[in-house]
Each structure stands twice: as C-alpha cells, then as structure tokens.
Amino acid sequence: MELNAMQPSSPDLLGEHPSILALRKLINRVARSKVSTVLIYGETGTGKSVVARMIHQQSDRCLCEFIDINCAAIPAELLESELFGHERGSFTGAVGRKEGLIETANGGTVFLDEVRELDPVMQAKILTLLDTQRFRRVGAVNPINVDVRFIAATNKILLSEVKAGKFRDDLYYRLQVIAINIPPLRERGDDIFLLTEQFLKKYNAVYGSHMTRLEPQVEQIFRRYQWPGNVRELQNLLERICLLEDGDCICVHHLPARILRETAAAAEAVSTPASEAFEPAAGPGVHGHSYHDATMHFQRALIERVLTQCQRSFGSAAQQLGLTRHALRHQMLKLGMLTQDIATDNSPTDV
Ligand SMILES: Nc1ncnc2c1ncn2[C@@H]1O[C@H](COP(=O)(O)OP(=O)(O)OP(=O)(O)O)[C@@H](O)[C@H]1O
Ligand SMILES: [Mg+2]
C-alpha cells in the first residue's frame, strides 16, 4: 500500500470511519451542552483520555482547569484528601489547609479515569458530589459549592461490576446519563491505515526514518489482527519500527512474532484450501450430484471467508466479491447462509 500525503483531519481523534465521525459529532454536542456528567466506555487504548480532553477543549469550560485523576493510581487512603482537600490538623500530617483537586477544577472539568476502582466509601462521596455539586474538605464543617463537569471512564463494562456488587448502582445510573462508547480499532475498517499514515509521519519526523509504505502482506495482517491494545498498540508498534528498521517499507519480518502467530491462526481458521473447498461435502446423497454440492460448498466457504476478513461488514464483503449487496444477500439466501428473517434483521453487521 502506498501512503498518500494528506493533511491530518483533526489533531485529536483521527479517523473517517462512520463510527468515528458520529463520535466526533457527539463529543461536540456534549461539550457544548449543560450536561454535568459523562461516562466514556472503551477497551484499553481506544482513546478515552483523548475524548475526555476534547469534551473539555470544545466546551466553554476550556478556560478553566482539566483535572485528570486516575482512580486506580492514587491509594484509597490518600484519594479523599487529594480530591476534596483538608483543613489544618484534620489528620496526622495535615499541617496546613489544602485545596483539593475538585476545588482546583472549579469552572472546568474533572476526569475520573478508571472510575470502577473507586472504593465503596469514595463511590458514596462522589455520588453526593455529583448530585449536589457540593463537598466538604476533610475535617471541615461547611460545604463548598463547585461548578464542575465530571467525565468518568472505564474499560470494563460497569453494569457487570454493578451486578457483581462491586459498583453502586445509583452511581452507575447517575454517571451513564450520557454514555459514550468508543469502538475498538478492529471495528474501524480502513481507519487503521489512516492512523498508520499519521503515526508514520510523526515518528519519521522524530527519528529521521523514512517509512512510508506497507507490504501488501502487512496490510492483510493489519486487517486481520485483533489489536487488543487498540490505537496505543498500533502507535507503539510503528514507533518501534521507525526507530529500529531501515528502508521505506514495513515488511512482515518487522512485525513481532505474537502478531504473526495470531494472524496466522486467524487465517487458518477462515481460509479453506482450494482442494478442500472443492471437495464435495461428505455424507449421504453426495454421489450423483457432486458437482452441484461442491460448487455450493465452495461458494459458501468463499463468502464466509470474505465476510470474516471484512469483520462481517456486509457492504465491504459485497464490494470485495464484486457483487451488489442485493446480489450477495440473494446468494446467501440461496446457499442457506441466511434465513429471510435474519436477512431483514441487520445480520451480518450491515445487511
Ligand atoms: N483516534 C485517534 N487518533 C489519534 N490518536 C489516537 C486516537 N485514539 C487514540 N489515540 C492515541 O492512542 C493513545 C491511547 O489513547 P488513550 O490514552 O486516550 O486511550 P485510553 O482509552 O484512555 O487507554 P486506557 O484504557 O489504557 O487508559 C494515545 O497516545 C492517543 O493519543
Ligand atoms: Mg486513558
């Protein structure tokens, strides 16, 4: 694949996949609204922190602070005084009055990253804060009013945590009034190449490298790989290649063994060798109409393979097979791969 020179469409959340276009629109709407709490869900490395910052930057709160608090990184016993501050002498070591992060963020945004790590006591205090926009410093009598937007993020499905009794249901429902889902990289189609291009530009500039192309086989691997670490994993991989490898083309041998192993296994699972595909399906009644059976078998295997390669996107699969969506749907109905009710029920992903 040749990477074309193009202008970055946005310095923040790059991507042209419909799900990313919709996400950018939602971010802008939420940013300009009066909404006081937002919950962002996405697998690790999908861009939750990027989205949280964009909401702040596109809002009229951007002149005040954006405070990023990683709930998993601050020990539980310190978190309360970090967030709410304390009065002098309120506990051993509290030598003076201290303003907490929530107060610092007044007029701005607080980002509660990895929110499910809050312990039950803090969950209760945060719920009160969200409901009243008031809190007390540790050791204080009088509450303080603040005007803060809270953005929480999680990479675990919070509802499961609620069901497991680890997360308060009232806090969950309070947070998820506006819920933003960030899709994993493997579901963003060709955005992976747009991101690749931008990251290569960035790291070529940093490391003086000249990587501008992907070998066709690498392109296939990028499409097939599941990217469990999402955009961060892609970014780190490209940085490493720009730093360590020579030339202008990313080749298969530049990729880590783990990626090669996983994509080889995926390829094996979806590909049917031609000889096997043409083998008539075993079973009674095969003899006598083996040509017909073998053809149907091959057609099914081919469609299934292309659908898997296209992450079950019906439109992309049809395009790759040189068929219209209508013709592909018709073929799948004929081959017994779809039933009439499923065919009208949006499955595969975009029938
Ligand atoms: N759409 C995107 N365009 C450009 N860069 C992106 C995009 N999404 C993520 N990134 C980059 O990928 C990296 C990971 O993003 P980020 O830290 O926001 O992920 P996260 O979902 O918060 O991850 P974690 O769950 O580990 O906290 C960052 O360097 C970020 O700048
Ligand atoms: Mg993050």
Residue 130 to residue 174: CA distance in whole angstroms: 8
For residue 174, give the H/E element and its range: helix 169-175
- What mean pLDDT is predicted for residues 214-233? 96
Å from CA of 44 to ligand 1 middle: 8
- Examine the pLDDT at 268 and tell me if it is beyond 80: no
The helix/strand/coil state of 71 is coil
Domain extent listing, the chain:
18-181, 189-266, 274-343
Here the tokens at position 55 are 């909401």
Q: Give the binding-site residues of ligand 1, using a 6 Å CB cut-off.
A: 13-15, 42, 44-50, 155, 195, 231-232, 235
- Examine the pLDDT at 343 and tell me if it is beyond 50: no
Q: Atom of ligand 1 at shortest distance to CA of 46? A: 21
What tens digit of pLDDT does each residue of 145-172 get?
A: 999 999 999 999 899 999 999 999 999 9
The CATH code that applies to domain 18-181 is 3.40.50.300
- Examine the pLDDT at 348 and tell me if it is beyond 60: no
- Examine the pLDDT at 334 and tell me if it is beyond 90: no
CATH architecture for the domain at 274-343: Orthogonal Bundle (1.10)
Ligand having the closest approach to the CA of 51: 1
Helical H segments across 145-289, by residue range: 158-163, 169-175, 191-207, 216-224, 230-244, 257-270, 274-278
Whole-number average pLDDT of the chain: 86
Which comes out higher in pLDDT, residue 263 or 38? 38
- Give me the pLDDT at residue 140, please: 86
- Give me the pLDDT at residue 214, please: 97
What tens digit of pLDDT does each residue of 180-198 get?
A: 999 999 999 999 999 999 9
Residue 187 to residue 79: CA distance in whole angstroms: 36
- Examine the pLDDT at 321 and tell me if it is beyond 70: yes
CB neighbours of residue 338 within 10 Å: 21
- Give me the pLDDT at residue 275, please: 46
Question: Which of 50, 70, 113, 239 most suits a substitution to test ligand 1, by most atoms within 8 Å of the C-beta?
Answer: 50
Which comes out higher in pLDDT, residue 55 or 90? 55
Assess if CATH 1.10.8.60 describes domain 189-266: yes
Residue 249 to residue 24: CA distance in whole angstroms: 32
18-181 and 274-343: same fold? no
- Examine the pLDDT at 264 and tell me if it is beyond 90: no
pTM for this prediction: 0.75
- Examine the pLDDT at 320 and tell me if it is beyond 90: no
Residue 316 to residue 219: CA distance in whole angstroms: 16
Residue 219 to residue 251: CA distance in whole angstroms: 10
